[in-house]
Amino acid sequence: MADQSRNAAIAQSDVERLVFELPPLPYGTKDLEPVLSAETLEIHHGKHHARYVETLNRLLSEQNFSAQRLEEIIRIAHGSGTKGVFNNAAQAWNHSFFWESMAPKAVKPSGLLASAISSEFGSLETLGEERAISDRAGSGSSRSATSSR
Ligand SMILES: [Fe+2]
């Protein structure tokens, strides 16, 4: 998994105000084509993600949050019912996680993920085959439909 510290792209202003910055994409907007188009990345990064960060910063400037990391803000906002902060912080985190979960060139899983795939599916190839079956069936998961594991 890629470095999640990009989620905590924090800058402190002179007045100690917490400000998050839109992290850059870890690749070019055309680098994931033809799977994801440049237009899709530009919409989700340049518009959605940017708006979540901008709105979060505005909401944080109106409230007194002592947390410094995005993950802490998500937890605190969830626990306190601060929905606007929670939604925008969580969506900013989700988008960063999504960007870091993809790469222009396929990378074989390693470590814990490789072990989990091996134990659950037997191999990466079997996972791919089951995923393809699931995608064709229009389902989010093929585990119950194609496997008794
Ligand atoms: Fe999006």
Q: What would the pLDDT profile of 15-65 be if each residue is shown by its tens digit?
A: 467 899 999 999 999 999 999 999 999 999 999 999 999 999 999 999 877
CA of 76 to the centre of ligand 1 (A): 23
Predicted confidence band of residue 131 (pLDDT cuts 50, 70, 90) = confident
Please name the residues in contact with 136: beta carbons below 8 A apart, sequence gap of 6 or more: none
- What number does CATH give the domain 4-100? 1.10.287.990
Give buried/exposed letters for 24-34 (b at 16+ CB in 10 A, else e).
ebbeebeebee
CA of 49 to the centre of ligand 1 (A): 6
> Domain residue spans in the chain?
4-100, 111-146
Average pLDDT (131-144) is 68
User: For the ranges 107-111, 117-121, 136-140, which has the lowest average pLDDT?
Assistant: 136-140
CA of 73 to the centre of ligand 1 (A): 20
CA of 22 to the centre of ligand 1 (A): 13
CA of 47 to the centre of ligand 1 (A): 8
pLDDT at 136: 85
**How far is Cα 52 from Cα 22, in angstroms, rounded to an integer?**
9
Average pLDDT (93-100) is 97
